[in-house]
Homo-oligomer: A and B are copies of this chain.
Amino acid sequence: MSKRHKKLEVNQRCLPDTGSSPGVIYLDDSSLEPKLTLHRISGAQYTSENIDSFAGVYESIKTTKQTFWLEIKGFKSLPMFDLLQNEFGINKLTLEDITRTHERPKFEEFETYAFAVSRMLMLNEEKELENTQVSFILMDNALITFQEHYVDCIQPVRDRLTAGKGTIRIGGASYIMYAVMDVIIDTYIEILGGWGDELEEIEDRLMDKPERSIMYDTQLIKRHLISIRRVAWPEKDKINDIMRSDSPFIQKQTKIYLKDAYDHCIQAIDLIDSLKEISVSNIDMYLSMISIRMNEIMKVLTIISSIFIPLTFIAGIYGMNFSREDPVTGKLMPMNMPELYSPHGYLYTVIIMVIMAVLQLVYFQKKGWFK
């Protein structure tokens, strides 16, 4: 990871306009045309078809004993939401929450349905973190899921429905909701695993050489961790709420599975906390290495300067041009630099210089500067 400056979006755009009425369906230019898929599930049978409209589906749900899963991806159709409000009896505040895709994970019970929100985290091809919303409307024998975009991470659930093993076809609508939520939480752990690898790689680089990018990259992961933590905590609370609710739409059997998802969610939080610790530790280590480095640079400078500056001064002394003779009178001035005219002046000077240098080296050695 060495893109230098990948910012973390603090996305606040999709919130309602200040002062707008509550309960307004939010659609903007980037809204996608809805793609609808209807899954009809019973123990032995399972069909899945892409449909154009779900007019009549409510009737079918009410009168058939099968389990229905209606997937809605893309919201650009006001009549669709009218149908949900009028035929399915979904509260308009719920519909707004579905289309304002920045809700926190939550679980709300209504008379004829239960409403839940999960946040789906995925890494796109540029390895950027996408944080999108999956909304759930759970009824007696039907589940409706809502996603703003077409891409998702829940294909495994569809595959398991096709394969038909295990509880997936006989667990009812609430089991399918659990299955989707569970995939989403599993994806958290998968993403965290990737960051864990990045952190180890950064740690290796840190031991190699404390370069500036270590700080950037670690800070970026730390921020991502903080942001994913803010998703994982309400997710945990939401799962707990579902487990403890006595909504008639949640089968007792499903609650045992939800407990398992709850454990995974806590494991995700544990992993986040561990990785955050490692981030902080990397940053602290890095800052300490910078300090140590400065220390070493200063030691080199000080040793060299301290040894040579005094020696250079002595050389400078004997480079002075004080005259031995008065140039006018020619009189001898024996006080002016007599050393220069001593037969061993140069030798003695060099010896003194060597002694000075050695004394300093001994001093620095004693101070432990060479260790």
Binding site for B on A (CB under 8 A): 4-5, 7-8, 10, 12-13, 15-23, 91, 93, 96-97, 102-104, 106, 108, 153-157, 159-160, 165-168, 182-183, 186-187, 189-190, 192-193, 196, 199-200, 203, 207, 209, 211-212, 215-216, 219, 222-223, 226-227, 230, 256-257, 259-260, 263-264, 266-267, 270-271, 273-275, 277-278, 281, 283-302, 304-306, 308-313, 315-328, 331-333, 335-337, 339-347, 349, 367-369, 371
List chain B residues, Cβ under 8 A from A153: 18-19
Chain B neighbourhood of A290, CB < 8 A: 288, 291-292, 295
Picked from B156, B274, B304, B326, the residue with its CB within 8 Å of the CB of A19 is B156
CB distance from A326 to the nearest CB of B (A): 6
- A22 and B316 contact, CB distance less than 8 A: no
Contact assessment for A320 and B337 in the assembled complex, using a CB-CB cutoff below 8 Å: no
Known A-B contacts A15-B264, A186-B18; A316 and B312 likewise in contact (beta carbons under 8 Å): yes
18 inter-chain pairs at a CB distance below 8 angstroms, sorted by A residue, are: A10-B274, A10-B275, A12-B192, A18-B186, A18-B190, A93-B260, A104-B266, A283-B284, A297-B298, A298-B301, A300-B306, A301-B305, A311-B316, A315-B320, A322-B346, A328-B341, A335-B344, A335-B346
For the complex formed by this chain, how many copies does it contain in all? 5
Task: Tell me, rounded to whole Å, the shortest Cβ–Cβ distance linking A180 to chain B.
Answer: 9
* Closest Cβ neighbor of A311 among chain B residues: B313
- Chain B residues within 8 Å of A200, by CB: 7, 10
Contacts of A308 in B (CB 8 A): 309-310, 312-313
